């Protein structure tokens, strides 16, 4: 038996590269959609709209992974969707801005790659947190998907840049929708892949199977288009 050990999926250096990417954007553009690396506010809100359709969020416990400066929380407020909100981000500067903007919400400096801890949430939402190419992205995201599903009671909604995009940026990482869809089906039969709402993006909904609870469909979910 070999004594060799596999390298960590994500190293401290690679996480610092991700933090540096967002820190630079925040310094250049301030605490707004540009500071989060989005191409437009419209595309950011469109992603939020798709994430928020994962299930009935009203009065639910919602965890936002890669919360940035709290823009998803702001979106829910504007839509008048009351939630018990918690946001995690690896960048202390982002969390500081979010706390200042929304003192009534809970924001923490946390790295989901280190686990969610014992707390459970009804829904876990994640927009663009894994778009930066930090090396071994696919392996890291597979671990994250497993952790997010374990940490929710009702559902997970997470979006990624797609390999179907016509234009790509070497700094960013594009994921194959089919590959992640198939992987998610090894975690739960209740999976939905959504495409078509933006030309370079896709979203996955994952639902844990719970006896006695209403599921979004009587049969395992498949691919679909956003309503």
Q: What is the pLDDT of residues 32-82, one digit of tens each?
A: 555 555 566 788 899 999 999 999 999 999 999 999 999 999 999 999 999
Answer yes or no: pTM beyond 0.85. no
CA 36 – CA 68 distance, rounded (Å) = 7
Angstrom distances, CA of residue 30 to CA of 25, 34, 94:
7, 8, 10
- Tally Cβ neighbours within 10 Å of residue 67: 30
pLDDT surpasses 70 at 14: no
The per-residue pLDDT for 65 is: 96
pLDDT surpasses 60 at 171: yes
Domains and CATH numbers, the chain: 12-207 (3.40.50.150)
The per-residue pLDDT for 227 is: 47
pLDDT surpasses 60 at 98: yes
pLDDT band at 21 (very low <50, low <70, confident <90, very high): low
pLDDT surpasses 60 at 16: yes
Residue 105, helix vs strand vs coil? coil
The per-residue pLDDT for 42 is: 85
Closest CA to 121 of 130, 131, 108, 132: 108
Alpha helices in the chain (DSSP H): 12-29, 41-51, 71-78, 92-101, 137-150, 177-185
**Average pLDDT over all residues of the chain:** 83
pLDDT band at 5 (very low <50, low <70, confident <90, very high): very low
């Amino acid at each position: 038996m070999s004594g060799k050990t596999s390298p960590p999926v994500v190293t401290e250096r690679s996480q610092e590269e991700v933090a540096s990417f967002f820190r630079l954007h925040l310094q250049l553009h301030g605490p707004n959609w540009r500071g989060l690396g989005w191409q437009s506010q419209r595309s950011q809100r469109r992603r939020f709209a798709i994430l928020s359709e994962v299930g009935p969020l009203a009065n639910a416990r919602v965890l936002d992974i890669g919360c940035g400066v709290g823009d998803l929380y702001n979106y829910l407020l504007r839509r008048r969707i009351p939630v018990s909100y918690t946001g995690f981000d690896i960048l202390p500067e982002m969390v500081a801005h979010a706390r200042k903007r929304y003192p009534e919400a809970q924001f923490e400096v946390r790295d989901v790659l280190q686990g969610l801890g014992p707390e459970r949430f009804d829904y876990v939402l994640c927009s663009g947190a894994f778009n930066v190419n930090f090396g071994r992205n696919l392996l890291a995201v597979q671990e994250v998907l497993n952790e997010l599903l374990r940490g929710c009671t009702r559902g997970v909604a997470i979006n990624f840049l797609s390999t179907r995009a016509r234009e790509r940026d070497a700094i960013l990482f594009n994921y194959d929708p089919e590959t992640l869809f198939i992987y998610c089906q090894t975690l739960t039969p209740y999976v939905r892949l959504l495409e078509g709402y933006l030309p370079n993006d896709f979203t996955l909904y994952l639902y844990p199977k719970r006896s006695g609870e209403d599921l979004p469909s009587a049969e395992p979910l498949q691919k679909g288009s956003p309503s």
